[in-house]
Amino acid sequence: MKRIITLTVNGEPVEGAVEPNRTLLSFLREDLGLTGAKHGCGLGDCGACTVILDGKPVNSCLVLAVQADGREVLTIEGLADNGKLHPIQEAFIETGAIQCGFCSPGMILSAKALLDESPKPTETEIRTAISGNLCRCTGYQKIVEAILAAAGTAQGKEVS
Amino acid sequence: MGDRPAGVIGEKVERIGSRERLLGKASFAADIDLPEAVHLVAVRSERPHARIVGIDVSRAQHISECLRVFTAEDVPGRNRVGIIRKDQPLLADDKVRCIGDPVALVAAETLEAAREAAAAIRVEYEDISALFDPEEALRPGAPLVHADGNLLGRRTVKRGNPEAAFKHADVVVERVYTTAHLEHAYLEPDAGLGYMDGSTLVIHASTQNPHYDQKDVAELLGLDEGSVRIIQAATGGGFGSKLDLNVQGFVGLAAYLLNRPARMVYTREEAFLCTPKRHPLTIAYKSAANRDGRLLAADIRVVGDTGAYASYGPAVLNRVALHATGPYELPNLFVESVLAYTNNPTAGAMRGFGVPQIAFAHESQMDLLAAALGMSPLEIRLRNCYRIGSLTASGQELTGSVGIRATLDAVAPQYAAAVRERNGTVSGHIRRGVGIGSMMYGIGNTGQQNPATAHLELTLDGGVVLYSGAADVGQGSSTVLAQIAAAELGLQPEAIRTVIADTLLTTSAGATSASRQTYISGNAVLDAARKLKEVLLTEAADMLKFDRAKVILEHGSVRAVRDADRSVSFAEIARRCHKLGMPLKWQGFFDPDTTPLDLETGQGVPYATYAFATHVAEVSVDTLTGEVRCLRVVAAHDVGKAVNPQGVHGQICGGVAMGIGFALMEEFVPGQTESLKDYHIPSAADMPEVIPIIVEDPEPTGPFGAKGVGEPALVPTAPAILNAIADALGVRIYDLPAGLERVLQAALSARKP
Amino acid sequence: MNSFSYTRADDVATALREVAADGAAKFIAGGTNLIDLMKENVERPSRLIDITRLTLGGIRPRSDGGLRLGALATNTDVAYHKEIERRYPLLSKAILAGASPQLRNMATVGGNLLQRTRCCYFYDTATPCNKRTPGVGCSAIAGFNRAHAILGTSAACIASHPSDMCVALAALEAVVRVTGSVGERVVPFAAFHRLPGDTPNIDTNLQADEIITGVDLPARGFAEHHAYLKIRDRASYAFALVSVAAALEMDGNTITEARLALGGVAHKPWRDPQTETMLHGQSATRENFKRVAEALLRDAKGFGRNRFKIELAKLAIVRALSQASFKEAHS
């Protein structure tokens, strides 16, 4: 039986009717058309479905939509501010941290959650924070560079 | 070429497609919204080898939202696919040849119903003895995977007189190396959707190979090629796996027969189960050198498991044989490479087509020979590496862009420093090691035509549109091609609009494989750009009443060299050409200069150019646990010319990651591995610092001197790491992956007196 | 995932009532393992009772000087809690050695205790597995068993327990608090998980009508002498092949108390307190560590590909004990 859920997605109130066996990922993608979160494995192994739930990155493929009732979700679509890229997004372009781009939304949200908690992370902290986001293209090096650069930006330093 | 703008070739350029990917707006195939699409699920064999006695679909048909179950009989055209050999049924007809073989295809209104219906289908099988070992498959009397025998192919390469040379050698080293099945583990599971647009079947797919997809789908359905249109969706990595048809045939069949849009998205388990793998090879390698370290002879015999279907096996077979010497002169040579069909998962193309495996062997041999001679690993490579005038294994004379020596020189200081650091690091059970790995890689398909075409169009508003069939799967080919066009036309790359990998709008660029798009499509784009440029210059000179030789292209206009005020814009030229009825769209073409290989000796010119690379890996090995940490990789690559250095760095760093996985952790166990929990690819925490070094020994036939880097990036890493582990322990590992238990065993045996 | 009904419990009593009313109902909290298993069709609950809104979170001091971890405290909450980091660094390190940041943000203390094995045959419903379907046989014993148990196995099951956190809790001798229809009870950590025996389908001694409300940490946290050593195939985000939680009390170079718990080697976090006493009163030397490692693994049995774990476990024990003892000498 479907249940009505209300939640905040990217700052907007959202209501939906979902079967209990639907995941948050499927609700976002299919009901809200927010396809930025990707289905990479469905088992929490790859991190491509990462969204920020009440401030913390989670695997949306392992969260039931009904469990997100009353909570706040940020997806990649909600990160840019009126078309202006978030500094992490800018840094990803600048450093060339994107290849196929399938892991990028989840990667960026993990990075955002890290920088929200720890604006000046060390490289090790960055690698730990994104260790639940697999990437097969980049070897992570430029992603780490991008996050370091974005952390510089957050302090008013220019992205280089 | 004074009119080429600065800041285009060799500069940092924003990668095409970055922005939409960052915003979550790029349309990967599973993201495309088509609410009326039916969902497809395949029923797959759980038997490795069995005759199909019957398929009972009755229970599935009672599921209300199940629309139709397709079996082999429903395939209207030729029920066989395969890029090299058409040996793989879309839906199994007489028998299944591996676990995961598709037997039926369910179309339903919902994914849940499709899954339910698929689970309700009963297939009756009669088991046939199954083969899981290629050597066994080649024995007389072995059960047949395919009616015409279990030998997929055999390639020999013969030069000089190895038998005689071995007799006179000062050192001979003979070892056997093995490698495992590997999974590509691209992040985006295969996906696609199809629908009828009038009488045209349109398929959006995650693919590396749209024009091949078009051919095989058309033949499957008995349609003209022109009735099938493949559009590459944003593609989340391929690494060779998405060269074969994955979902295209299924969505095509359903959309065409049901006349309704159809969607299919593989689960991760399905991507593990039924997409091609890297070939596991057993390599018996005997090589010999004289006292001063010159290689004299090698006898190399390779047997590989190609699994149930040919896929790209024949390409792997050839490449392994031709790359078996590595980038070294070897006057006396016998190579035999053999691939056999088995009932294991199909092995196909995976970044490097067998070269990563054979490089593990040839680079281990180089270190073993060096050790036997008391020579440094760097020195033995320097003494033997190719130079201008060298003859390759196939007898091809190298005439230009032979940067192997330059890559060795480039890493030499880092290598020396790493060795010093290793010698100065003493820490009980943690041992440090340093290793070198070198490689060569032939760009493009082996000994056959593999042309690319491209078009450039001048629009009436003065814009330039690049049309290329080259699928960009994340490696950045679209950006590189736009840079090449821009550089030739005096534009910035952002000024070039791109239309990519749509079989209706673009002509074939061949597959995105074999590290070929920068070199081959790059040349095709350059050819088109030169044709367009010729028109622009000629027409402008006419319009300006100026000498043709004294006008140049600049920022979208043509002007007099010495008088910037005398200029006409591309738009003005376009309008004039249009009025005069002159073509505004020009085709470029390039086919690398190769010759077929002699069937017996393997002699010929299989590739028009080669990439070279050397990696130095530093590792620490915990001798009490077998844990290996890769601490640093220095990666020098001769790419001819780095059109997009940031992209080259990205390829190198990603290749190193894949190489670390190959060396230390990745192993697909048929029948067992089904998720990313069981199959570990390196995470951010596993990756060391990678120091890419770009070496540019320009390729005379390359666009602006460029060759390729996609596969070379991966090849030397595992050899360098295995050599570093051997350096650390004094004991060598011959079987990949060098997982914990193997390293631990090696460490324990090293401690014994 | 199968269809199921979903309710959200607002208090423990309601949750217990609801679970008692439906034999095929399950609690869901973080869901990181349950959803996974449901997607694989291994778990097919008729009803999920969402307990995430119960007031079972938080980490609070106890009168005996210990700490109480609420059953719904997330792995992240626990691992980064200041008092845990300061007084129970073994626990913090064990948690951070496991899973990924995303999973730790969802996974709870209670759920971690109830994690099920990652044996690939348990997950693969096409193969026989006694843990899934008692009596049908074990595919792992003669199958691909690289990650499987070497201690406490039975003819019915050689699955290993996947948790890192539980290995630390076993060493710390935590106590599990559970509430059921008959009231509250406490279960010593060693008695919480079970060995497979003839009933590998039953992982723990938690009753069907009970809920975990929290885990109590005793006052002693072994902050000075501890080590969590996890050996695995990649540097993050992989289950342990072998892990060791070592906790020591020392007087100079003399060990006055030793605790050793092993992960990845048995159906439960493995402890052998009798053998640990071999170290009491002994000095911290490799030889002594080797003796206890040999003794701990004396009954270990491999099944093919996992045989290497016997030697690996011994080496890991020596290493972990050395690390745990080493600290004092240098701090």
Mean pLDDT of B304-312: 98
Give the chain C residue whose CA is nearest to the CA of B683.
C236
Determine the 3-state secondary structure of A46 from DSSP.
Answer: coil
User: How far apart are the C-alpha atoms of A112 and A121, rounded to whole Å?
Assistant: 11
Of B677, B685, B740, the CB nearest to C231: B740
Of A42, A57, A67, the CB nearest to C102: A57
Indicate yes or no: CB of A102 within 8 angstroms of CB of B268. no
- The residue whose two tokens read 């020195």 is B379
Mean pLDDT of B659-663: 98
Task: Provide CATH code, domain B451-590.
Answer: 3.30.365.10
- Output the pLDDT for position A159: 39
Pick from C100, C233, C309, C318 the residue to mutate for testing the B interface (most B CBs within 10 Å). Answer: C233
Chain C hits for B43, CB-CB cut-off 8 Å, are none
Whole-prediction pTM = 0.96
Element (H, E) at B166: helix B162-168
Q: How many CA atoms lie within 13 A of A58 on its CB side?
A: 29
Mean pLDDT of B454-479: 97
Would you state the structure tokens that stand for residue B271, as one six-digit string? Answer: 């991507």
Indicate yes or no: CB of B22 within 8 angstroms of CB of A39. no
Give all domains of chain A, ordered by start, each with its CATH number: 3-78 (3.10.20.30), 87-154 (1.10.150.120)
Give the chain C residue whose CA is nearest to the CA of A19.
C3
Indicate yes or no: CB of A139 within 8 angstroms of CB of B656. yes
Which residues in chain A (89-108) have CB-CB distances under 8 A to chain C? none
Other beta carbons within 10 angstroms of residue C327's beta carbon come to 16
User: How far apart are the C-alpha atoms of B136 and B157, rounded to whole Å?
Assistant: 24
pLDDT-above-70 percentage for chain A: 95
Mean pLDDT of B525-530: 98
CA A47 to chain B, closest CA, distance in angstroms equals: 10
Q: Does C126 touch chain B (CB under 8 A)?
A: yes
Residues A43, A46, A49, A54: is their CA dihedral positive or negative? positive
Indicate yes or no: CB of B22 within 8 angstroms of CB of A143. no
Chain C hits for A44, CB-CB cut-off 8 Å, are 32, 36, 100, 102-103
Task: Provide CATH code, domain B38-128+185-274.
Answer: 3.90.1170.50
Cα–Cα distances (Å) from B236 to A106, B241, B249, in that order, read 13, 12, 19
Backbone phi and psi for residue C40, each to the nearest 5 degrees, phi listed first: -90, 5
Reply yes or no on whether the pLDDT at B1 is more than 50.
no
Chain B hits for A126, CB-CB cut-off 8 Å, are 684
- Output the pLDDT for position B353: 98
Annotated domain spans of chain B = 38-128+185-274, 281-446+597-751, 451-590
Mean pLDDT of C58-72: 97
Q: Does C326 touch chain B (CB under 8 A)?
A: no
Q: Does A116 touch chain C (CB under 8 A)?
A: no
Q: Which range has the worst mean pLDDT, B426-430, B629-633, B646-650, C169-173?
A: B426-430
CA B188 to chain A, closest CA, distance in angstroms equals: 6
User: How far apart are the C-alpha atoms of C156 and C141, rounded to whole Å?
Assistant: 9
- Reported as a pLDDT band with limits 50, 70 and 90, residue B295 is very high
- Output the pLDDT for position A155: 46
Mean pLDDT of B562-571: 93
Q: Which range has the worst mean pLDDT, B13-17, B418-422, B749-753?
A: B749-753
- Output the pLDDT for position A35: 98
What is the distance, to the nearest Å, from the Cα of residue C75 to the centroid of all Cα atoms in its chain? 13
Evaluate whether the domain defined by B281-446+597-751 bears CATH number 3.30.365.10. yes
pLDDT of C20-40, one tens digit each? 999 999 999 999 999 999 999
Would you state the structure tokens that stand for residue A17, as one six-digit string? Answer: 């009717």
- The rounded mean pLDDT for chain C is 95
Mean pLDDT of C264-278: 97
CA C135 to chain B, closest CA, distance in angstroms equals: 22
Of B19, B23, B189, the CB nearest to A77: B23
Indicate yes or no: CB of B665 within 8 angstroms of CB of C231. no
pLDDT of B403-419, one tens digit each? 999 999 999 999 999 99
The angle subtended at Cα B748 by Cα B744 and Cα B749, nearest 5°, is 120
- Output the pLDDT for position A158: 42
- Reported as a pLDDT band with limits 50, 70 and 90, residue B6 is low
Chain C hits for B629, CB-CB cut-off 8 Å, are 235
- Output the pLDDT for position A88: 97
- Output the pLDDT for position B428: 82
- Are B358 and B324 a contacting pair, CB within 8 Å? yes
Which candidate, B238, B124, B142, places its Cα nearest to that of B191? B238
Indicate yes or no: CB of B187 within 8 angstroms of CB of A131. no
The angle subtended at Cα C55 by Cα C54 and Cα C60, nearest 5°, is 145
Chain B hits for A98, CB-CB cut-off 8 Å, are 15, 18, 21-22
Reply yes or no on whether the pLDDT at A157 is more than 60.
no
Indicate yes or no: CB of B629 within 8 angstroms of CB of C235. yes
User: How far apart are the C-alpha atoms of A107 and A57, rounded to whole Å?
Assistant: 10
Which residues in chain A (41-60) have CB-CB distances under 8 A to chain C? 42-44, 47, 50, 53, 56-59
Mean pLDDT of B703-723: 97
Mean pLDDT of B700-713: 97
| Chains interfacing with C (3 or more CB pairs < 8 Å) | A, B
User: How far apart are the C-alpha atoms of B139 and B133, rounded to whole Å?
Assistant: 10
Indicate yes or no: CB of A137 within 8 angstroms of CB of B31. no
Give the chain A residue whose CA is nearest to the CA of B188.
A40
- The residue whose two tokens read 């003065």 is B462
pLDDT-above-70 percentage for chain C: 98
CA A24 to chain B, closest CA, distance in angstroms equals: 16
Examine domains B38-128+185-274 and B281-446+597-751 and report if their fold is the same.
no
pLDDT of C73-100, one tens digit each? 999 999 999 999 999 999 999 999 999 9
Which residues in chain A (41-100) have CB-CB distances under 8 A to chain B? 41-43, 45-46, 48, 75-77, 79-80, 85, 89, 92-93, 95-96, 98-100
Of B665, B671, B685, the CB nearest to C233: B665
